[in-house]
Amino acid sequence: MFMGEYKHNVDTKGRMIVPAKFREELGDTFVVTRGLDKCLFAYPMNEWKIIEDKLKQLPLTKKDARAFTRFFFSGAVECEVDKQGRINIPSTLRTYAALEKECVVIGVSDRVEIWAGEKWEEYVEESEESFSEIAENLLDFDI
């Protein structure tokens, strides 16, 4: 399980250090793709396979299913961790998530999210205001 929040930088070549706590669970090769809320999602290969299987079951006749599948898979890349513990994030993904220098890498149960530092701070500020309301709505799911 991934959890925690770590601050790192993306260098001018698009490389970012993967937090040591996440490296072992992500493995040497894992998938990074466009996520929701303008961040990137990173999945270990076993989790990616589960998502891939679920998305394959979506009906091609549904416009939203086609759109989401295109969005999700077209941005996906396999990343390998180098000897310094870094990955190279392609420019298309850096642009999508506005990753320029400072970024925040967070663990979210079965995935890792990579956020531009500023965007993460904005998200946290907005979410803190409605956190109680969100929690209340999730009580229906026995959380």
CB 24 within 8 A of CB 66: no
Considering the chain, what is the average pLDDT of its residues? Answer: 93
The torsion of the CA quartet 143, 44, 13, 115, rounded to 10 degrees, works out to -10
What local confidence, expressed as pLDDT, does residue 126 receive?
A: 87
What local confidence, expressed as pLDDT, does residue 135 receive?
A: 79
Instruction: Report the run of H or E that residue 31 belongs to, with start and end.
Output: strand 29-34
Domains and CATH numbers, the chain: 2-117 (3.40.1550.20)
pLDDT band at 141 (very low <50, low <70, confident <90, very high): low
Report the pLDDT averaged over residues 97-112: 97
pLDDT band at 7 (very low <50, low <70, confident <90, very high): very high
Report the pLDDT averaged over residues 43-59: 95
For residue 129, pLDDT beyond 70: yes
Q: Is 50 helix (H, G, I), strand (E, B) or coil?
A: helix
